[in-house]
Amino acid sequence: MAAARAFALLAIGFGSTAFPCLALAQNIERSCSAGYRLHLSVIESADGGTRVPVTEVIGGVANRDGSFGFSATRGCGATVPNRCRRRASEALMACMAAHAATPGERPAACGSGGISAYQIADLGKTITRTVCSYLMSQGFQVPKPYAIDVTIKGSVYGDDGCGGGDRNSLERDLAAMRVTCD
């Protein structure tokens, strides 16, 4: 019995070195990163007297701790790492789309699916703060209060597979909103 057990262990050990495909049958994890991008199109004063077309892009929406972005890690078979990344990318896009659809509350999709470091509770307030601070820092001269049309985009990036297929990045329009700066 002991000899049979020793032979089985030896065969398994030999099999994984002599036949690497046996070792590759293991599961692995891969990740992608994501963040929001904000495209600004029109600034309008409250009285409607001033309309300023803009083509500004804000590259990121900060988390509570000042960091940008978040990530997701998903598993798959060792021979298909891009499948892991596609799964991570899908989870990230689902989170961002759900939050853009209901910006006042953090959706359950942002706390599952392998997502980590997602700290945005109220996306609407976070975007308003980000846009108004950005425009003030850039010296836009529009009488307050003013409103800005914003397109919220979800951006996923990383290694091949994070953008779907064999691409390494993906960006989608998620929602449009009007931000008011007082």
Longest dimension (CA), the chain: 91
Distance CA 31, CA 117 (A): 13
Q: How far is CA 21 from the centre of its chain?
A: 33
Tens-place pLDDT, residues 102-159: 999 999 999 998 999 999 999 999 999 999 999 888 887 777 888 999 999 999 999 9
Residue 56 lies in a domain: yes
Q: What is the pLDDT of residue 8?
A: 44
For residue 1, being part of any structural domain is answered with no
Q: Give the span between the Cα atoms of 10 and 13, in whole angstroms.
A: 5
Q: Looking at the predicted structure, is the pLDDT value of residue 7 above 70? A: no
Distant-in-sequence contacts of 21-27, Cβ < 8 A, 24+ apart: 24/77, 24/78, 24/79, 25/77, 25/78, 25/79, 26/77, 26/78, 27/75, 27/76, 27/77, 27/78
- Asked whether the beta carbons of 70 and 117 are under 8 A apart, the reply is yes
Residue 18 lies in a domain: no
In a domain, 164, yes or no: yes
Structural domains in the chain (count): 1
pLDDT digit string, tens, across residues 23-48: 556 999 999 999 999 999 988 887 77
Q: What is the mean pLDDT of the chain?
A: 84
Exposed, middle or buried by CB within 10 Å (0-12, 13-18, 19+), for 158?
A: buried
pLDDT of residue 2: 54
Residue 57 belongs to some domain of the structure: yes
In a domain, 4, yes or no: no
Is 17 or 107 the better-scoring residue by pLDDT? 107
Residues listed for the chain: 182
Domain that holds residue 98: 29-181
Residue 68: pLDDT band with limits 50, 70, 90: confident
123, part of any domain = yes
pLDDT at position 59 is 80
Asked, for residue 48, whether it belongs to a domain, the answer is: yes
* pLDDT at residue number 10: 42
Q: Considering just the CA atoms, what is the radius of gyration of the chain in Å?
A: 23
- Distance (Å, whole) CA 65 – CA 43: 29
Residues 37, 150 contacting (CB under 8 angstroms): no
Name the pTM for this structure: 0.81
